[in-house]
Amino acid sequence: MDARLNYFASPMAGKALKYFMSAGKALKESPLPVVTQELVALRVSQVNGCAVCLDMHTKEAAAAGESAVRLGLVAAWREATVFTEAERAALELAEQGTRVADAADGVSDEVWARAAEHYDEEQLTALVILVSFMNTVNRLNIITRQPAGDYKVGQFH
């Protein structure tokens, strides 16, 4: 499958995405644990069906030491016993923040409170920005049908 657009060859994309991707770099340096970041990126990408992001974040998480079992269970995190309460709260917030059209209230007060039990304000800020960032990246890739499977760990760092 060929992509509809080549972001790397586009002067417009080069200008806009340079700034956008710097937000992704800032998130990597945030106080939100890297493992949590990768799990959230995976879950948002699963909900949205973004193959290229699933490829990237599965490989990045594995390279960071994440187990195949936990990676395989992200899609069924509610029933899985391998995630911490903090990770579960982050995954729940990520799902509700991604599926905003499915609920009149977006992220519920209960979900926010559970996340706030485990993350301080800076970590919550990073979590919210990460969910929003991943939703945007997913859409950039899905709309233009970016192909998946060839990502190399560290490719965009």
pLDDT digits (tens, 9 = 90+) for 17-61: 988 889 989 999 999 999 999 999 999 999 999 999 999 999 999
Whether 114 contacts 89, CB under 8 Å = yes
Whether 121 contacts 30, CB under 8 Å = no
Question: Rounded to two decimals, what is the model's pTM?
Answer: 0.93
Looking up tokens 């106080």, which residue turns up?
Answer: 31
Give the list of residues 6+ apart from residue 109 with CB closer than 8 angstroms, or none. Answer: none
DSSP string, 84-128: -HHHHHHHHHHHHHH-GGGSTTSS-HHHHHHHHHHS-HHHHHHHH
**Domains of the chain in sequence order:** 32-143 (1.20.1290.10)
pLDDT digits (tens, 9 = 90+) for 99-143: 988 877 789 999 999 999 999 999 999 999 999 999 999 999 999
Whether 32 contacts 130, CB under 8 Å = yes
With cut-offs at 50, 70 and 90, classify the pLDDT of residue 2: confident
> What pLDDT is recorded for position 133?
97
Give the list of residues 6+ apart from residue 48 with CB closer than 8 angstroms, or none. Answer: 98, 135, 138, 139, 142
> What pLDDT is recorded for position 106?
87
Any alpha helices (H) in the chain, and if so which ranges?
A: 11-28, 34-48, 51-63, 68-73, 85-98, 109-118, 121-143
